[in-house]
Amino acid sequence: MIRIFRSLGGHVELPAAGQNSWINVTQPTPAETERIQREFGMPAEIISDILDPDERPRVEFDDDFSLVILRIPVVVSNNGIPFQTIPLGVFMTSRYTVTLCGSPNEILPAELPSLYREHKEQVSDVFNFMLRLSMRSAQLYLRYLKQINQQTSAIERELEKSIRNEELNQLLKMEKCLVFFITSLKGNELVLFKLKNSKRYNLDETNEDLLEDAVIETRQALEMAQIYSDIQAGMMDAFASVISNNLNVVMKRLTSISIILMIPTLIASLYGMNVPNHLEGWKWSFYLILLFSLSLSALGIFLFRRRRWF
pLDDT tens digits, one per residue of 31-69: 988 888 888 888 888 889 888 888 899 888 888 888 899
- Residue 29, φ and ψ in degrees, nearest 5: -80, 170
For range 197-219, the mean pLDDT: 82
Considering 68, 99, 122, which residue would you say is the last residue of a domain?
A: 122
- Digit-coded pLDDT (tens) for 83-96: 889 999 988 888 88
Reported as a pLDDT band with limits 50, 70 and 90, residue 143 is very high
Instruction: Assess if residue 203 is contained within a domain.
Output: no
Q: Which CATH number covers residue 7?
A: 3.30.460.20
With H, G, I as helix, E, B as strand and everything else as coil, classify residue 167.
helix
What average pLDDT does the structure give for the chain?
A: 81
Measured distance CA(243)–CA(155) in Å, rounded: 13
pLDDT at 141: 92
pLDDT at 163: 56
Q: Which CATH number covers residue 288?
A: 1.20.58
Measured distance CA(142)–CA(157) in Å, rounded: 23
Instruction: Assess if residue 175 is contained within a domain.
Output: no
- Digit-coded pLDDT (tens) for 233-276: 777 777 767 777 777 877 888 888 888 888 888 888 877 777 77
pLDDT > 90 in the chain, percent = 13
Number of domains in the chain: 2
Instruction: Assess if residue 46 is contained within a domain.
Output: yes
Reported as a pLDDT band with limits 50, 70 and 90, residue 162 is low
Higher pLDDT, 160 or 50: 50
Domain that holds residue 84: 1-122
Considering 122, 145, 176, which residue would you say is the last residue of a domain?
A: 122
* Other Cβ atoms within 10 Å of 132 Cβ, number: 20
pTM, two decimal places: 0.75
Cβ atoms of residues 122 and 9 within 8 Å: yes
Instruction: Assess if residue 140 is contained within a domain.
Output: no
Instruction: Assess if residue 214 is contained within a domain.
Output: no
Reported as a pLDDT band with limits 50, 70 and 90, residue 112 is low
Instruction: Assess if residue 23 is contained within a domain.
Output: yes
Cβ atoms of residues 155 and 84 within 8 Å: no
* Other Cβ atoms within 10 Å of 233 Cβ, number: 12
Going by the DSSP 8-state scheme, the letter that residue 266 receives in this structure is: H
pLDDT at 223: 92
- Residue 225, φ and ψ in degrees, nearest 5: -65, -40
* Other Cβ atoms within 10 Å of 12 Cβ, number: 10
Measured distance CA(221)–CA(227) in Å, rounded: 10
Higher pLDDT, 108 or 141: 141
CA-CA-CA-CA torsion sign (15, 17, 23, 28): positive
Does residue 120 surpass a pLDDT of 50?
A: no
Q: Identify the burial level of 131 via C-beta atoms within 10 angstroms of its C-beta, where 0-12 means exposed, 13-18 middle and 19 or more buried.
A: buried
Residue 147, CA atoms < 13 Å, CB-side half-sphere: 13
Considering 122, 137, 163, which residue would you say is the last residue of a domain?
A: 122
- Give buried/exposed letters for 68-95 (b at 16+ CB in 10 A, else e): bbbbbbbeeeeeebbbbbbbbbbbbeee
Measured distance CA(128)–CA(122) in Å, rounded: 9
Instruction: Assess if residue 178 is contained within a domain.
Output: no
For range 24-37, the mean pLDDT: 88
- From its phi and psi, is residue 64 left (phi > 0), alpha (psi between -120 and 50) or beta? alpha
Instruction: Assess if residue 24 is contained within a domain.
Output: yes
- Digit-coded pLDDT (tens) for 251-263: 888 888 888 888 8
